[in-house]
Structure 1
Amino acid sequence: MPYAASHLAQPPSRDDVDRMPGATVVEFGTPWCGHCQRAQPLIEQVLGAQSGVAHVKVEDGPGQRLGRSFGVKLWPTLVFLKDGKETARLVRPQTTGEISDALAALTAAGH
């Protein structure tokens, strides 16, 4: 499942995220967030080329349990997970390079 353009209608539970197998990028943000909108082309460029990485796009906000369980404070926040364990985190990424570096570390983890 490569790049996801839309936020999930119903976010997964933290238990579901913790049980996700393989490489996963969980993106927290909102459709109306300017920082999120600016980062989308960067995220799409990097994740769009990855077939073995799941991209879970979660709309975050007050009272959203999944974002709070990850301690998300700013959007977008990308959490890189390998078999449900966090390997890296990017807050408001500015370049494709930093996303690519975190993704390379994620896909190399456990190999």
Structure 2
Amino acid sequence: MVEAVTDQNFETVTGTGVTLTDFWATWCGPCRMQSPVVESLANDRQDVKFVKMDVDANPNTPQSFGIMAIPTLLVKKDGNVVEKIVGYHTKDQLNEILNKYTA
């Protein structure tokens, strides 16, 4: 399951372990393509926490990370950003990236 987060709870929710945040917006076509891929990964992987943030409703967090394009996926490990992924990526590509931080 992918949990929706806000500017208010983002740091708390993504502060420990490996997390992947999907920054998206309702009007973004590529975001609508990326979302099912992230949902599928969330169902397959129990070792990563998956969250999503609507950039229109929560502008502060994307701005603080310099997110200029969506979809952008942010991978954090123990609260630190370890990877920033811009644009659509396949499930295999994302699995490969996540494996670097969970092995």
Whether the TM-score (by the shorter chain) exceeds 0.5 is yes
TM-score w.r.t. the length of structure 1 is 0.77
Q: Where does structure 1 lack aligned partners over 5 or more consecutive residues? A: none
Moved more, 80-89 or 43-52: 43-52
Among 12, 15, 29, the residue aligned to 2:8: 12
For this pair of structures, how many residues does the alignment match? 103
CA deviation string 1:8-67 (max 9, x = no partner): 4x333565367x111111111112311100112222222221112111211103871100
Contact 1:28–1:57 (CA under 8 A) maintained in structure 2:
yes
Contact 2:18–2:76 (CA under 8 A) maintained in structure 1:
yes
Which residue in 1 is equivalent to 2:30? Answer: 35
TM-score w.r.t. the length of structure 2 is 0.83
Write the mapping of 1:1-111 to structure 2, written as runs, cut at 5 A. Answer: 3-4=1-2, 7-8=4-5, 10-12=6-8, 15-16=11-12, 20-61=15-56, 64-108=59-103
Would the alpha carbon gap of residues 82 and 64 (structure 1) be closer, same or farther in structure 2, given more than 3 Å must change?
Answer: same
Describe the SS at the equivalent of 2:74: strand
Q: Where does structure 2 lack aligned partners over 5 or more consecutive residues? A: none
Contact 2:7–2:58 (CA under 8 A) maintained in structure 1:
no
Q: Percent sequence identity over matched residues? A: 26
Describe the SS at the equivalent of 1:12: coil
Would the alpha carbon gap of residues 53 and 65 (structure 1) be closer, same or farther in structure 2, given more than 3 Å must change?
Answer: same
- Amino acid paired to 1:91: V
